[in-house]
Structures are given as C-alpha cells and as structure tokens.
Structure 1
C-alpha cells in the first residue's frame, strides 16, 4: 500500500500500521518497507516520546498503555489528514483521484466487478482501490478514514456516529447443502429440523455469523458448528465436499451443492452503502456513491435462491 500521506506523517503511519496488525512484519509488508527499517522507526518514535509504545509478545507485539493512547488519537488525526489530501488532489483535477471501496467477500465474484465496469466507462481517470473484509472491520476502516465507501451488512440498526448509510437490498439467506443431502429436494427448510447436522460457519468477527447464531438460537436446534471459515467461498467448498451444511447468502452455491430457502422471515441480511457523513466527499467519491446507489439494487435483485 505504501505511505498514503505522501511522506507528511511517516512516523504516525508506521506506528498505526504496527498497532493495527500487532505484528512488525505484516505492518512492514503493508507499508512496503523492510522489517528492520520499521522496527528502528518504532524504536526511534518511542525514544523521541520518552515512553515505550510496544512490547514483544511471542512472535508479535502488544501496545503499551501509552501506545494505545497514541493509536486511539492517531487514527483520528490520520483520517483527517487523508481526507484533506484527497480533497486537495480532487480540487486540482476532479476527473482523477482515488476512491477506496470496501466490500464483503461474497460480492467479489460478480457484484463489485459489474459495478466498477459501468463506473469506469464514465470516470476512466479515477483509481478505485478495493478492500474486502467482514462488516465489522469495514465499518472500523470507514470510521478511521482508510475506506471511503463500503458495501456491508450491519447487524445493528444503530451505526456508530458520523456514518451515513443507504439501504440497497435485502439479501435472502439460504441453507446450502451437498447434492444428495436429505434436505436437497425439500421445500423451505425449518432450522429446527437441523438437529444433528454438522454446520459450517464463518468466524465470530463476521456479521453473517452473528445472524446465523441468532437464527439457530431462535430455532433451538441441536446442530453444532464443526468448522469456522474466513470467507464464504471456502465455506461453500466445504459444503460441496460433504463436510456439513451452512447458512449463507443466496447465490453462494457451487457445483455439488444445493441452495434451499429457509422458512423464517428473519433469514436475510440488509446490504447498505456506508460512508463518513461528517466531512465533504471528493468528486470521485461522490460520483461512485451515486453510481452504486443507482446500479447496485438491480444487481442484488438478480441474485436469488436456486
């Protein structure tokens, strides 16, 4: 990724990268600098401030109390600086610039490419950088200024302060089962009928996992999780391999699997476009936001349970 502040605040960027990853090597890879160089920079910053900012813990590092304080305030400072730099660059040439678009992993194969293909036809000079994460991480990156717009599925109706949102679609959730499974040819599936089934799910950091937990708790099923995946594509592959069943968004099926509708009106997630609402948007960001609001709903509507 490199230094986004064009060298105006390298020490702050270096420290915040280390704070986010809690790992020197991964932070160095993000910044594109050698690991020893980054280690020396953090040590120099600690010496300049007169307090230790990090301490070793196993193969990683842990922030000290002063380090946590600097990270908390530094995120806001860096976010404001990045917003100012993007505004300056956009003022110089509103037909160019950079937009950072975050999105859920499940939108990578078709939704995001379709959105960007049409956007590129009208704004070919704009660079769109992509970040794919779970909803919670995307919201955090929008708040700290690293992501300008994100397509996410918040599991709460009340977003953090300073976030604007626009609802784009209601995406049904389905039960994905292996071909030949006892439920593969059934009608809508009741989750309480999953007793004894092995379930494949996402890690607790993902909003889809929270929705699945809520649905299964309400159904009082005795099904149990056996595998936690970091992305939907892998979860679908595990179902296709016959390792279990999974609650996933409609359209997640692959060859060797069958999507069954779930007989519960709560089995859906709301897809929203989210951005910082407390600062002006540069022309490229505003244009991409407008494009997504217009073009995304039909794309999501085209994805339906098989």
Structure 2
C-alpha cells in the first residue's frame, strides 16, 4: 500500500467531495479517483458511499480513517525525529502551561533557550490543568508545566518538581480579619469564598482545604483567572486560599498553621517519547534554570 493513497484518502474523507479534495492536493480529479479505487481494491471493500457528485464514508471507511490517522501521525513523528537527529540544535518544542506562568517565568525561560538555539520554534498552549494533561497524554505536548499532586502521572510519564509555594488565607486589606491578632478557622464560617473553577491545579488544593473545614464554605464565585480572583478579594468581595501573590498591595495573606498546604509546580513529560536532541536540551535548561532560582 502506497503512503500517497492514505494521504489522498484522508483528504477526500475530510471534504467528502472529489473535486475539492483534488484541488487541495493539487492533482487532477481523475487521478485522485483512480488512487481511491486502487486503495479500495487493495483493501477489498468500498470505503465511500457515492451519491452523485458528493461522497461520504461508509462503515468501512470510518473504520479505516481511524487507522489512517494513526499512520499519518506516525509518519509525521518519524519525519520529525529524523529531521531532528540530522539537525540536533533545532526543532519544534510544544509546551503547555497554566495562566500565570506566562507572565514572567516561562517567557524568560524560552528567551534564554532561544538565545542559545535560535533555530528552535515553540508551540505554546495555555489552559487549565485538566486540558493540559489531556493534551500531553494525546501526544500534542512535549512538556506540561502544572501543579503537581502525584495523581496526574500516567505510564511512561515523569515529573520534576521545580518550585513550591505555601497557601495562605487571602483577604482584602480592608477586611475585618486583618485586625485580628490570630485568625481562627471558625471565623471563616460566614465568609464568601471566591475560587478557581474545577480543572485548575490551585482548585484541587483548595478543595482539599475545604474538606478540612468544620463547615461548608459559601462559594460566591468560580473563575478562570487567578488575577480575577485576586481583584475580587482586593475589592473585599470575597476571600480565598491562594499561594503567595507577589506585588499585590491591596491584599493581605494570613498564615493559618492548622491548614498547612503547599502548591508544588513542576513539569511533566513522556520519558519514552522525549527522543529529539533539542527536547533533551530543553529539559536540561528547565532543570538548570529553576533549580538555580531555588538557590538564590
């Protein structure tokens, strides 16, 4: 079976129209039709239902399409791996990260690496933890920066802790609790909490804290950006449990010894698939950069 047949099949399956597919592939429509016919002869089954000028996949076509996608992906990986071995100081690195990492830490890391290896390209994805982990396991990401809890690792995947931050009760500077010499858990019973939505790494830790409280927390808002949560707290519209926030002069973060939680941030990668020289160099750069920051 020729690889070209599979490429042609996937394009016809995408458009469900021979003429449109042939235009996209830059071949004649008769040549495309002959290729599809030869593929069907080789498989000994029809793959399409033909209705006038339009065609659509039948049950065999839908079945074959799943395998064809896998073959196409493997071909792309093979070509990429060969290219990267021939040119070890260049290549594409796909990275997933949570929102606040894009403010300073990640751009600084990428800029430093790009200065050393200028022919490197980055494919970036910013999302919550659930989406990032799914993308990593689907093979769409080489590296995933996220909150680590120990529950997210799959087979052949490895994580490296990069830094950690304690969680604090976070309130507005104008909140009544700021005047208390010592805040008790019971004082929070009538407060409204503003927190991140499910799927975010910080939310998973917040839920664990909530489980320890002797009351059911009143949640008034669930958001997607930690800056929004901090803004609502600054305006005295709720309180929350958050890691240390730098540079916000409108909030106060209070340590509650009875609720001692940390956010561990790290990177996850597939140690089996991490074969390209440039990816290995980037992993070393991650470790060197963040481990040196810890020592400052």
TM-score (norm. length: structure 2): 0.72
Rounded to whole Å, the distance in 2 between the matches of 1:11 and 1:294 is 43
SS of residue paired to 1:153: strand
2:58 counterpart (13, 25, 50): 50
Aligned to 1:196: 190
Matches within 5 A, 1:79-118: 80-118=74-112
Matches within 5 A, 1:214-253: 214-251=208-245
Change (3 A) 1:228 1:292: same
Asked if the contact 2:177–2:183 (Cα under 8 Å) also holds between the matched residues in 1, the reply is yes
Q: Does 1:171 align with 2:152?
A: no
Change (3 A) 1:185 1:137: farther
Rounded to whole Å, the distance in 1 between the matches of 2:74 and 2:232 is 43
Aligned to 2:278: 284
Aligned to 2:200: 206
Aligned to 2:17: none
Change (3 A) 1:301 1:252: farther
CA shift for structure 1 position 176:
2.0
CA shift for structure 1 position 292:
0.7
Number of paired residues? 253
CA shift for structure 1 position 108:
1.6
Aligned to 1:133: 127
Asked if the contact 1:90–1:283 (Cα under 8 Å) also holds between the matched residues in 2, the reply is yes
Which consecutive unaligned segments of at least 5 residues does structure 1 have?
1-6, 16-42, 54-65
- Structure (1 or 2) with the larger CA radius of gyration: 2
Asked if the contact 2:10–2:68 (Cα under 8 Å) also holds between the matched residues in 1, the reply is no
Asked if the contact 2:146–2:201 (Cα under 8 Å) also holds between the matched residues in 1, the reply is no
Rounded to whole Å, the distance in 2 between the matches of 1:203 and 1:184 is 26
Aligned to 2:147: 153
Change (3 A) 1:10 1:151: farther
Which consecutive unaligned segments of at least 5 residues does structure 2 have?
1-5, 15-47
CA shift for structure 1 position 265:
5.8
CA shift for structure 1 position 82:
4.7
Deviation string, structure 1 residues 154-184 (Cα, Å, up to 9, x no partner): 3334612221211222221222211111233
Aligned to 2:117: 123
